[in-house]
Amino acid sequence: MNKQRGAALLVALLILVAISLLGISAMKTSMFSSKVSTGVQADAMVFEAAESAIVEAYTELEEMDSVNLSSFLGGDVMSRCLAAGNPRKEGGCAGVDFMGSRGMIKASSTSQVNGFQLISGAQISSSGNAGTFVDYQVQIAGNSEMAAFNIGDSHVQELLKRGIRPSAEIE
C-alpha cells in the first residue's frame, strides 16, 4: 500500500498540464482570429473611404454650375480631400485632414477629363458658331490610407458627362 501514495498526485499534475496546454492553444487561436478580424475590418474601412471619395467627387460634378463645369471640362483637374466637417476641401489631404473624428483614415479624390466622344447627329449651330454635343470622359480616382495599419486603397471610375464642344476644337 505504501507504493501508491504519489501516483494520484502525478496523474493529477499530468491532467493539469494537458488542460493548461489546451487553454494556451485556445488563447493563441483566439488572439490570431482577433488580429485577422481587425485587419479585415481595417481593410473594409479603407475600401469604403476610397469609394466615398469617388462618390463625393461625382456628387460635386453633378452639382456644379455651368461656369465651373465648363472650366472643369476645359481641362481643369479637381482634387479634393474628405476632411471631417469639410468633405470637399480643395487640394490634397494635409497632416490633420482625417476623414472621421477618430483620426485614422485619410481619403481624397482627383478628377479630370480624359477626352470626349462625339454624339452622332448632335451638331448644333448658334449665330454662326457651330458646336457639337459630346460625352466627356471623366476619370475619378479615389485614394485612401490608414497609416496605423499601413493599408492603402485606390479606385478609379470613369463616367460620361454631356456637354457642348465648339466644332473648331473637334478634329
Buried b (16+ CB within 10 A) or exposed e, 121-131: eeeeeeeeeeb
Number of structural domains (the chain) is 1
Q: Which residue has the cell 466615398?
A: 52
pLDDT digits (tens, 9 = 90+) for 117-145: 777 665 555 555 667 778 889 999 999 99
What domain range is 134 assigned to?
2-169
pTM tops 0.85: no
Tell me: the pLDDT tens digits for 16-26? 999 999 999 99
